[in-house]
Structure 1
Amino acid sequence: MAHESAKETDTMTICAPAARRRGGALAVLAAAAVLALSGCKGGDLVSYDLPSKSARYTFEAQTDTVRTVWEYNSARATKDDAPELSPCMGDAVGGNGAACRPEPLIFLRYDFGLDLDNTVRAGRKHEVGIVAYYQERLTTPPTVTSLKAEVSFDGGRTWRPTATKAAGKNTFTATIDNPRQDQAAKGVGLRISATDGQGNTVRQTIPVAYTLR
């Protein structure tokens, strides 16, 4: 299993690296350059080489306290896998011209339903909207088949499951039973685990998603 670490650039929207696979290499290489994104759209944050054989990989990213772990299946890339409008990094800079393609990483976007003071009322149920999505350059994105949510009231030290329901394609709602403010003095944490129809997974941990008033 290969492993690689990188940093996200936008904690609020929980953006993450747009991973791309390049065939024919013998090792996984960490990228040194980090490109700024606007609204999770734009160029790749990281491009890396993987062994040409099919395998399952783990990719990790962290921004401040937000940690994301992906597990995904990747097969050998071919020349037809990279969209014409999104060339491989090697092609763009005139370097390695080996075949590449975007990887099927599941990204998560949240609507925390915050009030104008960026807090949520304590002692009542609260809904958080969650959208799972993929890189726009992925020609046939899978469908997320399951999503589970856990909450923490002690800064991420302990977690408990909370109810979720589907609200459309790749869209879900988590219902959190907020405690009294003094029972979650550090705020409410959220941990999401999602799986798609191809067996790719993501687990994202946000120790403090919102605070109570």
Structure 2
Amino acid sequence: MTTRVPSARRRRGTLMLCAAATMLTLAGCKSGDLVSYDLPAKSSRYTFETKTDDSKTVWEYTSAGATKTDAPKQSPCMGDVLGTNKAACRPEPLIFLRYDLGLALDNTVKAGEQHEIIVTGYYQPRLTEPPRVTSLKAETTFDGGRTWHPAATRATGKNTFTTTVGNPRRDQAAQGVGLRISATDSQGNTVRQTIPTAYTLR
């Protein structure tokens, strides 16, 4: 399971993103989906939220002004492509999460055992100097998100963390196992992603 990257750019106070962006199944921005939001030119703190089905992601990040060097010729700003705006732009420093759930071929995990999940934070490729993900907290739910339980997590590589989930018996998690991941990077940007059902038990 991999989170895809919504198009998020700052253009002289403008954030460009896919209005239909999702955390888990984004196939890309189609024409008509790309919209812009006017932001103050001064560096400020913002919140960006997306939701698809029951999965929800909330980012909090600081957006700084862009310069011409933030838009290399091989990856131009949308305004350059359309010929509507020549101002500088750059991706926003949003933390995205990639999961290795360790699923079997039937997309399930064995019940009643300890199970490891690998979560990796990453950024949009055009971000000139991406921060470093410094901490990650994981929680699990066995009742569709009504109650949450902390899960042990340890750093296992650059921007990579391993979470150990104590799977209950199958009848104790009839709706499957859900995850809530919260991460912070070296610039104070954060993300919280909630997936009420990440996998089911066998």
- Do they fold alike, i.e. is TM over 0.5? yes
Residue aligning to 1:169: 158
Contact 1:146 1:195 in 2 (8 A): yes
Aligned sequence identity (%): 68
**Aligned equivalents of 1:155, 1:57: Cα separation in 2:** 29
Match of 2:66 among 52, 58, 77: 77
2: CA distance between counterparts of 1:123 and 1:180? 5
Equivalence for 2:9: 20
CA distance 1:66–1:31, change in 2 (3 Å): closer
**Aligned letter for 1:182?**
D
Q: Does 1:54 align with 2:43?
A: yes
Specify the code of the residue in structure 1 equivalent to 2:106.
D
Deviates more, 1:78-87 or 1:203-212: 78-87
Alignment-derived partner of residue 130 in structure 1: 119
CA contact 1:24–1:98 (8 Å) conserved in 2:
no
Match for residue 210 of structure 1? 199
1:8 aligned partner: none
- What is the total number of aligned residue pairs between the two structures? 197
Q: In terms of mean alpha carbon deviation, does 88-97 or 78-87 score higher?
A: 78-87
Give yes or no for the alignment of 1:105 onto 2:94: yes
User: Does the 8 Å CA contact 1:16/1:61 hold for their aligned counterparts?
Assistant: no
In structure 1, what is the equivalent of residue 140 of structure 2?
A: 151
Determine if contact 2:7/2:16 at 8 Å carries over to the other structure.
no
User: Matches of 2:200 and 2:133 in 1, distance apart?
Assistant: 29
1:177-196 equivalent positions in 2, closer than 5 A = 177-196=166-185
Report if the CA contact (8 A) 1:47-1:89 is conserved: no
RMSD: 2.5
Residue in 2 that maps onto 1:201:
190
| Cα offset, 1:112, TM superposition | 0.5
Q: Which amino acid aligns with 1:66?
A: S
Gaps of 5+ in 2: none
> What is the alpha-carbon distance in structure 1 between the residues aligned to residue 189 and residue 144 of structure 2?
28
Distance verdict in 2 for CA 1:179–1:154, change over 3 Å: same
| CA-to-aligned-CA distance 1:101-142 (integer Å, 9 cap, x gap) | 111100000011011111101001000011100011112111
Separation in 2, partners of 1:208, 1:80: 42
